[in-house]
A and B are shown apart, each in its own frame.
Chain A
């Protein structure tokens, strides 16, 4: 669920964006593609078109279900939208190492997923 406490802020286009202790947006309305680039850069990642496919699917999932997906539903949603190759766990792990649902949700401006490790 959306966290509420701003632990640090990020300057973007003259605005201060609030982030929680784990780097998720405090106000989900703050998200923009430019912010996603910025959040990714902070983690040393550069967003490629393949990253953007995942971000699109994540944001669509959240819009439909008010929920950040765990790995399994994320792979299913990717498969439905972009085909089986894009839905493979390995593909997602390569794009967002460590935890695609968590890292992806952070960059896509969603709350931290509650139902995955």
Chain B
């Protein structure tokens, strides 16, 4: 964790999945994670960027919702088994919600400042937004 040292973590990659929706509430987050896992299962090199409400996916202590509705924490836990290891979180989105990198402990993530968020969208050859 920590602010990325430029050039080290922002190596080129094949697919960047941008996650902008919070757990529960909609299926966007789960669908984005599943898309990432499908690509990874086929050997693509996948990166994840948590931004907007998506940063809330990284908070600990999540559970199934009412009526047993699935959250997203199980999918986050499985990412490692799919070899999805490049996970980034947008520092501005964290700050806007009063969160710091200490709060996003569910996954090992790299916190990115604005310029590096931009660079990230440029160094992956494909971007999918969820």
Contact = CB atoms under 8 A, between A and B. Distances in A.
Q: Do A and B come from one complex?
A: yes
Interface string A68-79: 011111001100
Contacts, number: 40
B81 A77 contact: yes
Interface size class of A (residues with CB under 8 A): 10 to 19
A114 B75 CA distance: 13
B45 interface: no
A112 to B, nearest CB: 14
A65 B41 contact: no
A11 interface: no
Contacts of B43: 72
Interface in A56-112: 61, 64-67, 69-73, 76-77
A57 to B, nearest CB: 11
Interface of A: 61, 64-67, 69-73, 76-77, 114-116
24 contacts: A64-B77, A64-B78, A65-B75, A65-B78, A65-B81, A67-B75, A67-B78, A69-B78, A69-B81, A70-B38, A70-B41, A70-B82, A72-B43, A72-B82, A73-B41, A73-B78, A73-B82, A76-B81, A76-B83, A77-B81, A114-B34, A115-B34, A115-B38, A115-B41
